[in-house]
Chain A
């Protein structure tokens, strides 16, 4: 009985791991959406619509570095199409450049987390970090 339960449990874990692994398109979209949500908060602060908050700002850059670490691995060869993906074929044609772009995003986010101590330094670091959005999308994303 215990053995059956353990096997079932093992299977369940295995299956859910496979399910999580097998939907990289949804995962990378969620990660990108979290970046968008953080950017919304950051833009409000940068524009003076929300007060500067050091902890919040660190959180924004953390979302960026977490996504930068996680996302490049979410483009396996079997995820080139489907799920309304807007990934450009160049992601797979130029994996090196794609990974370099994320490394730069991660570095800019880390720099921001360290340097943004007030509104002025935040604006500069936030500007640098979010420039990566457009430059990377220009090369690696198609129009939707």
Chain B
């Protein structure tokens, strides 16, 4: 009996120790090798800032200047409410004190300078595809923007989601830290589009259904699903019948520029903010994104909830 208790205790301790080791940010999600970086290219950083939609979440809500990154926007989820933090170059309230390595660590590994896990509501799961050089360019651009005072309210997450260590377990299960690998059998345009869609554009983060732990269901990636913020339905953007199969490449590029569908409906909700960002990209980049999207195999997404019986 006593031996059994000791055995159980040993197992429990081993389990706890294992949890701590395995959910350690440095163990579960080591940052990429940075090496020596050239002088940052601020213009490229500006382009990535638009492609990444940074302002959509981090610009201070309720004012028109999208370069004021004071944070505070509320992002609903099944796990609680997130508040996008201040990422302006303010030294106390923003990321003004962050070094390039800190920024790369956050963007590519989801780890804060204090060594804590960041919640994947911040899509480092996609941003990790950007190279350290690209991320350094992005930071250099953000540093040219106004420093905004004030902090966003803390996230409102119920137990156990308020324990950041839990994210370590989530990363073990779902986080792939590999950078973008171009496909040499495809054209340069396709590879550029694949990089923009999968990496900075993080299209899959909204256009995919998620499992009960909030991770993207890989089998139906890009096939749409219920809006993770809890209202409406996000469309399928694969080449399936209810997706983009009937859209031409130029029609997709047009939507990313003006927000108009081929039927001249104008996209709403958070896609309107996405279009505001993609409209700033060079036309060649929008066409590249369209080229990649046209190559996605048709995938049937999760079934939509039954339509109401009453007409109209």
Q: Is the CB of B235 within 8 A of A143?
A: yes
Q: Given A23-B312, A84-B308, A134-B275, is A143 in contact with B270 using a C-beta cutoff of 8 Å? A: yes
Q: Is the CB of B308 within 8 A of A143?
A: no
Whether B272 is near chain A, meaning CB under 8 Å from some CB there, is yes
Residue of A23, A43, A130, A133 with most partner-chain B CB within 10 A: A133
Q: Mark A133-144, 1 if CB is under 8 A from B, else 0.
A: 111011011111
Count of A-B contacts with CB under 8 A? 82
Q: Mark B29-59, 1 if CB is under 8 A from A, else 0.
A: 0000000000000000000000000000000
Closest to A47 in B: B254
Q: Mark A13-49, 1 if CB is under 8 A from B, else 0.
A: 0000000000101100100100011011001000000
Q: Is the CB of A138 within 8 A of B268?
A: yes
Contact of B227 among A36, A43, A140, A142 (CB under 8 A): A142
Q: Is the CB of B312 within 8 A of A135?
A: no
Contact of B260 among A25, A43, A81, A142 (CB under 8 A): A43
Whether A83 is near chain B, meaning CB under 8 Å from some CB there, is yes
Whether B185 is near chain A, meaning CB under 8 Å from some CB there, is no
Q: Given A36-B264, A88-B231, is A26 in contact with B259 using a C-beta cutoff of 8 Å? A: no
Q: Which residues of A contact B180 (CB under 8 A)?
A: none
Whether A86 is near chain B, meaning CB under 8 Å from some CB there, is yes
Q: Mark A47-90, 1 if CB is under 8 A from B, else 0.
A: 00000000000000000000000000000000001111010110
What distance in Å separates the Cβ of A31 from its nearest Cβ neighbour in chain B?
13
Interface SS majority for chain B: loop
Q: Is the CB of A137 within 8 A of B266?
A: yes
Whether B269 is near chain A, meaning CB under 8 Å from some CB there, is yes
Q: Given A36-B263, A133-B266, A137-B266, is A143 in contact with B271 using a C-beta cutoff of 8 Å? A: yes
Q: Which residues of B contact A39 (CB under 8 A)?
A: 260, 264, 266
Q: Which residues of A contact B271 (CB under 8 A)?
A: 143
Q: Which residues of B contact A32 (CB under 8 A)?
A: 265
* Assembly CA distance A138 to B264 (angstroms): 16
Q: Is the CB of B267 within 8 A of A26?
A: no
* Assembly CA distance A135 to B231 (angstroms): 18
Q: Which residues of A contact B265 (CB under 8 A)?
A: 32, 36
What distance in Å separates the Cβ of A89 from its nearest Cβ neighbour in chain B?
8
Q: Is the CB of B272 within 8 A of A40?
A: no
What distance in Å separates the Cβ of A120 from its nearest Cβ neighbour in chain B?
18
Contact of A83 among B234, B235, B310 (CB under 8 A): B310
Contact of A84 among B259, B260, B307 (CB under 8 A): B307
Q: Is the CB of A138 within 8 A of B273?
A: yes
Q: Given A37-B264, A39-B264, A83-B311, is A144 in contact with B233 using a C-beta cutoff of 8 Å? A: yes
Q: Is the CB of B310 within 8 A of A138?
A: no
Whether B232 is near chain A, meaning CB under 8 Å from some CB there, is yes
Q: Which residues of A contact B311 (CB under 8 A)?
A: 26, 83
What distance in Å separates the Cβ of B208 from its nearest Cβ neighbour in chain A?
13
What distance in Å separates the Cβ of B255 from its nearest Cβ neighbour in chain A?
11
Q: Which residues of B contact A83 (CB under 8 A)?
A: 308, 310-312
Closest to B308 in A: A82
Q: Which residues of B contact A81 (CB under 8 A)?
A: 308
Q: Which residues of A contact B227 (CB under 8 A)?
A: 142-143
What distance in Å separates the Cβ of B16 from its nearest Cβ neighbour in chain A?
42
* Assembly CA distance A22 to B259 (angstroms): 31
* Assembly CA distance A64 to B69 (angstroms): 35
16 contacts between A and B (CB under 8 A): A23-B312, A32-B265, A37-B264, A43-B264, A83-B312, A86-B268, A88-B269, A133-B260, A134-B275, A137-B269, A138-B272, A140-B268, A142-B231, A142-B268, A143-B231, A143-B235
Q: Other than the known A25-B312, A36-B264, A83-B310, what 9 A-B pairs have Cβ atoms closer than 8 Å?
A: A40-B264, A84-B308, A88-B231, A130-B266, A133-B266, A134-B266, A134-B275, A134-B276, A137-B259
> Which residues in A have some Cβ–Cβ distance to B below 8 Å?
23, 25-26, 29, 32, 36-37, 39-40, 43, 81-84, 86, 88-89, 130, 133-135, 137-138, 140-144
Top-8 shortest CB links A-B: A137-B268, A138-B272, A141-B268, A133-B266, A142-B232, A83-B312, A143-B232, A26-B312
